[in-house]
Structures are given as structure tokens and as C-alpha cells.
Homo-oligomer: A and B are copies of this chain.
Amino acid sequence: MIARIRRNARGNRNRAVANAIGDDCAILRFSGGAEILLTTDFSIEGTHFRREWHAPDSAGHRCLARGLSDIAAMGGEPAAAFLSLAMPADLPQKWADGFISGLLRLAKKHKVELAGGDISVAPLICADIVVVGHAPRGSAISRSGAKPGHSIYVTGELGQAAAVLASLRADKKISPRSAPGRRHFYPEPRVEVGQHLRRHKLASAMIDISDGLSTDLSHICQESGVAALIAEHSIPRPSGWEAGSSSLHFALHGGDDYELLFTAPSSAEIPRKIAGVTITPIGQITDGKRGEIFLTDSHGQRKKLTPGGWQVF
């Protein structure tokens, strides 16, 4: 299995990787002025994907997308990925091959080298992805720099991935290659947008929306020691699909969008599009109680927004 992955991974090279699969450790080399960014994310059968819903290449794509999105949220340049993959002994080889191929396709797009990992046996499929990236020293965008008065922005549209998930739960068929389907099955981490914001020093704080806007905005507010006020009408939602009246709920609390959520001082000139992706202002950072979020609804009423996204324990 390892020899097979090693062979298939040969097409994806990154010059930060000095030696890869085949030794006790991978060796990575970065230039002296670089900071190294490292993130790890589980993709566990039943928790993060289901074999009956997700084709193996979608599960592999989503697995790597989770890690790439964390690198994007710091404004980093991804370089290497490490896949730890545990599988049932009777899992068809075809499934594992499809998973790796979906992961490698996305890796290639972002010039990321699969540089190691671990293979093991478990009664269910359990993958842990490590993505290593870099950024010039002191330039990575943390969650803790938001200040009262800063504007809040999101990339793209929110809620589509969660709406698709809800349809899957309701036994509706969604084509993975349709426009809505792609947002759930093959999400695009906003790596270029993150790097643009970092290079031009535009963002004061940033996070990726993996757990839902309400939860991830509360993370920024917690780490920055601030509060936030967002406007319901300004939250970009997909139009023309069957999400209907629940689309606001999905946009506020739905996970798996992998859009970026960032703050910027009013002096920063934020473009309407970055790397082809629409950027939308949705509210303001305030000096309220740490971590608290308020939402102005369509009637102009202000109400408290409780984080309702994905949270473990």
C-alpha cells in the first residue's frame, strides 16, 4: 500500500520537501525567513463522511481540503501533506485508490507534495491529514487581531454545503458534480485569497468557516477579546436552489463551506473580488462582551446569535 501511494504521489513535487516517503521522518527545508504553519484534521467515516454518500475521491478531496483551508486561513503557502490512513482489512483496494487519487488531484492543483504518513488497520476508515505550509516571519494572519470598528468579511457564499448535507440526510440524490453538489463534495479551499490578504496586509484576523459562521466568528471574537454585530441581509447565500427558508440557518450555522471569514480596519481597501472570489462585508467588530455575537434581522431587530455550528464535546 505504501509503495503504491509512493508511486502515485510521484507526480506532485514541492521543493520544500527534501526527502519524502521511505524514511523514519520526512525532511522539509524552508528558507531562513519563513515561519512554518502546521495543521492536522481528522476525516472519520460516519463523523466526517459516509461511504454511501461520498465517492472515495470526494472523501479524499474533502480530507485534504480541510487542511488546505486552515493554511489558507493563516494566509500561508501550502507545501507538503502527510496522510495517516487506517482502513478495515476488507476495504476494497479500489476505495483506497479512489481516496488517494481525489486527495492527490487537489494536492497537485495547489502544488502540495504528499510527503509521508502512516497506514494502519481499523474497523472503520479513519484519516488524519497534516498540511505544512509557510509564510514570511510575522506575516501569518491569526484569529486574535480583530479590534472594535474593524469590518467583517466573508468570501463566496455560505450555507450550500450544509444544505446539500441536509438533502443527503433526507435521502435526496444530489449530483456531486452539479454546482450545489460541488460545494459539498469537492469544496475549494480559498488558498489564493488567503495569500492575497496576507501579502497586501489587508486582514487583521482570519479563520476558515469549517464549523459554521456563528461558531467560527465566535472563535475570532474569543481569541481577539471582542464582540461582533452582523446583518442578516448581508450574508451571501446561494440563490436559485431549494434551500428555501432554511437557507439563513444553513448560512449561519452550517459547516463545511471552507470560505474565509476575516476582519479588516476601515482604512484597508478590500477588493470586491480576489482571485475570482466575491468578498462581502457582513458586519462590524464591537467592544461588547468577549465572544458575543449579535445579528440584525430583516426587521432591523437586533438579537443575540448563539454559536450553533459543529462543536466537538
Contacts from A to B (Cβ < 8 Å): 1-2, 18-19, 22-33, 35-42, 44, 46-48, 70-71, 73-74, 76, 80, 82, 84, 86, 115-124, 126, 128, 130, 132-133, 137, 140, 142-144, 206-208, 223, 312-313
Q: By the criterion CB–CB under 8 Å, are A122 and B71 in contact?
A: no
Q: List 29 A-B contacts (CB under 8 A).
A: A2-B312, A23-B142, A23-B223, A24-B70, A25-B38, A25-B70, A25-B73, A25-B74, A25-B133, A27-B36, A29-B137, A30-B30, A38-B80, A38-B115, A38-B116, A38-B130, A39-B116, A40-B118, A40-B130, A42-B120, A44-B121, A44-B126, A46-B122, A47-B121, A82-B130, A84-B128, A123-B123, A123-B124, A130-B130
Q: By the criterion CB–CB under 8 Å, are A1 and B312 in contact?
A: yes
Q: Which chain B positions have C-beta within 8 A of A143?
A: 22-24
Report the copy number of this chain in the oligomer. Answer: 2
Q: Which chain B positions have C-beta within 8 A of A118?
A: 40-42, 128
**Cβ of A82 to closest chain B Cβ, rounded Å:** 5
**Cβ of A261 to closest chain B Cβ, rounded Å:** 11
Q: By the criterion CB–CB under 8 Å, are B126 and A25 in contact?
A: no
Q: By the criterion CB–CB under 8 Å, are A36 and B39 in contact?
A: no
Q: By the criterion CB–CB under 8 Å, are B22 and A223 in contact?
A: yes
The 10 closest A-B CB pairs, nearest first, are A32-B32, A128-B128, A25-B37, A24-B73, A24-B70, A28-B36, A25-B39, A42-B120, A84-B128, A1-B313
Q: How far is the CA of A80 from the CA of B35 in the complex (A)?
A: 14
Q: Which chain B positions have C-beta within 8 A of A140?
A: 25, 27
Q: How far is the CA of A118 from the CA of B129 in the complex (A)?
A: 10
- Residue in B24, B44, B120, B223 whose CB lies within 8 Å of A208: B24
Q: Which chain B positions have C-beta within 8 A of A31?
A: 32
Q: Which chain B positions have C-beta within 8 A of A71?
A: 24-25
Q: How far is the CA of A100 from the CA of B118 in the complex (A)?
A: 21
Q: Which chain B positions have C-beta within 8 A of A133?
A: 25
Q: How far is the CA of A31 from the CA of B208 in the complex (A)?
A: 29
Q: Which chain B positions have C-beta within 8 A of A206?
A: 24
Q: Which chain B positions have C-beta within 8 A of A30?
A: 30, 36
Q: By the criterion CB–CB under 8 Å, are B26 and A39 in contact?
A: yes
